Structure 1
Amino acid sequence: MPWAPATPLPQRRKWPFFAFGLLVYLLLTAAVLLWYQDDVEQMAWMDREVFNHKIINQYQLSDNISQDMVIQRLGTPDITAAVQHDNAVYQLLYYRTHRNAADGITTTDECTALLFKQRRLLAKGDAAVQQYAAVSIDDN
């Protein structure tokens, strides 16, 4: 008897294997997206700017966010300033969120500011810069 090719599986028996494979793929993809932390130190500068902007916009002043939490999530700030006023330490951290000039230098106008009082988030953006300036002037 001549050789005959093996008969393929009926169509209905292929679907469980396909469905199982698709389910495993979706579960693995969801696990990576939900639990994998971005490493800001490994990001290209353009990706880091977008990442910083996205995370900073999510911060709410009512959430009692600590300075350590911010540094752990966003990494080392690009520019910092600090002053002590009335036995409280005010720290202004600048994270780059956009680029104005392609000069290789990060300036405060290319950053979003976060103001911390006693290591707790007090203000962000222009309000943070204004409050820090007011405390700094009062301190002098």
Structure 2
Amino acid sequence: MKIKILLWLVVGIGIYLLATIVILRFYPDNPAQMNWQDREAFNAKFIQRLNLSKPVQQEYLINRLGSPDITEAYRHNGEVYQLLYYRTHRKAADGITTADECTALLFIERQLSAVGDEAIARYLELQPDARSLE
């Protein structure tokens, strides 16, 4: 009798673990379906894990994080510079997302080049000489 109960317990735990693994593997987080607090935390955690030594394409990042909260872009010497801002921390409960509540990601020709304050600084380096994208 004890062996039968123990067997059912092990089978139940196994099914639970298998279901958990399947859900985590095949149903990734979707920022579009998150409330704003969860989305901020998700964005911050995802951005923190980015590794600039490996190529990160803009399309991949947008597929994972969704549309950016703020976007700026220009073309300089035939290259497209895009600064995408994703909200990672709230400063004021006013319902408006501002750049100081976001983490900036700089893409040059759709390839991630810099994150955070460095992204903003590099973006602004060439901007005065740049033509606006239309």
Give the TM-score normalised by the residue count of structure 2. 0.93
In the alignment, which residue of structure 1 is the partner of 2:20?
29
Identity over aligned residues, as a percent?
50
C-alpha RMSD of the superposition: 1.1
Using CA pairs below 8 Å that are at least 6 residues apart, which structure has the higher relative contact order?
2
Give distance in 1, aligned partners of 2:36 and 2:96. Answer: 12
1:96-117 CA distance string (max 9 Å, x none)? 0000111111000000000000
Give the TM-score normalised by the residue count of structure 1. 0.89
Q: Which letter maps to 1:112?
A: T
The structural deviation recorded for 1:26 is: 1.0
| Structure 1 residue runs without a partner (length 5+) | 1-9
In the alignment, which residue of structure 2 is the partner of 1:62?
53
Give distance in 1, aligned partners of 2:37 and 2:3. Answer: 48
Matched, 1:101 2:92: yes
SS of 2:53's equivalent?
A: helix
SS of 1:63's equivalent?
A: coil
Q: Which letter maps to 1:132?
A: Y
| Structure 2 residue runs without a partner (length 5+) | none
Whose radius of gyration is greater, 1 or 2?
1
Matched, 1:136 2:132: no
4+ runs of 1 displaced by more than 3 Å?
Answer: none
SS of 2:37's equivalent?
A: helix
